[in-house]
């Protein structure tokens, strides 16, 4: 019995020494569970930071902008004097071949018109009446016709007259056909492939655009 007890004590002592790496120098030790070589390969682990939800949302728009594909932009029409100033600005701001100034014609526009109204209250009442008739109206592009409403725009007077007849059958009584703008000739600015680098330089050109916005090519 004493030998058995001594053997158990000896075995416990050997296990303790083995499990605590006391016998590693003699070639007896458990396998290491850590991987110090991976820790040594880390590059600035202290720089790793978990982003908050707000920070993630702020980074998403930047990523989408970076991935935006080049687009075609255009503006105009420009008369001869405006073209001279615009060409000078374009040559100083944008690379050669990245823009075009082409002759263009803006056709005359005829509209089915209602107005002019004496005040904003009368205009609002007319809007409500048209809404009750399920009729659509659109804003005017000619300030001389304000305050008023357009029930549709057409490239010929004949087409506008036809629409007026159709609207009369639906209960419209005070509308008439007017020319919203005359035919215009000039130059159209086109930027066929405006990428991020090019868009960043367009602010230099804006003063020469004479208030005409750059829009997506249609």
**What's the pTM?**
0.52
Residues of the chain with pLDDT under 50: none
So what's the pLDDT on residue 112? 97
So what's the pLDDT on residue 20? 64
So what's the pLDDT on residue 114? 96
So what's the pLDDT on residue 68? 74
Task: Record the tokens describing residue 188, joined without a space.
Answer: 């159209």
Q: How many CB atoms lie within 10 A of CB 112?
A: 25
So what's the pLDDT on residue 139? 85
Identify the three-state secondary structure at position 199.
helix
Pick the closest to residue 212 from 93, 91, 101, 108 (CA basis): 101
Q: How many CB atoms lie within 10 A of CB 140?
A: 18
Name all domains of the chain by residue range, CATH numbers in brackets: 70-105+185-216 (3.30.70.120), 109-181 (3.30.70)
Identify the three-state secondary structure at position 13.
helix
């Amino acid at each position: 019995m004493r030998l058995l007890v001594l053997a158990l004590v000896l075995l416990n002592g050997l296990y303790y020494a083995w499990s605590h790496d006391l016998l590693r120098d003699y070639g007896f030790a458990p396998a290491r569970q850590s991987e110090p070589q991976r820790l040594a390969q880390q590059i600035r682990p202290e720089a790793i930071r978990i982003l908050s939800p707000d920070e993630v949302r702020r980074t998403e728009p930047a990523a989408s902008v970076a991935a935006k594909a080049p687009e075609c932009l255009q503006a105009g029409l420009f008369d001869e004097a405006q073209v001279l100033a615009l060409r000078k600005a374009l040559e100083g701001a944008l690379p050669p071949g990245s823009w075009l100034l082409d002759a263009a014609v803006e056709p005359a526009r005829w509209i089915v018109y209602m107005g002019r109204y004496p005040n904003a209250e009368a205009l609002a009442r007319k809007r409500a009446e048209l809404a009750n008739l399920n009729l659509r109206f659109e804003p005017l592009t000619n300030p001389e016709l304000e305050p008023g409403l357009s029930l549709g725009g057409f490239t010929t007077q004949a087409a506008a007259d036809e629409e007026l007849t159709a609207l009369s059958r639906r209960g419209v009584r005070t509308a008439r056909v007017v020319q919203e703008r005359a035919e215009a000739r000039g130059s159209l600015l086109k930027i066929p492939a405006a990428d991020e680098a090019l868009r960043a330089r367009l602010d230099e050109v804006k003063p020469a655009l004479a208030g005409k916005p750059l829009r997506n090519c249609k």
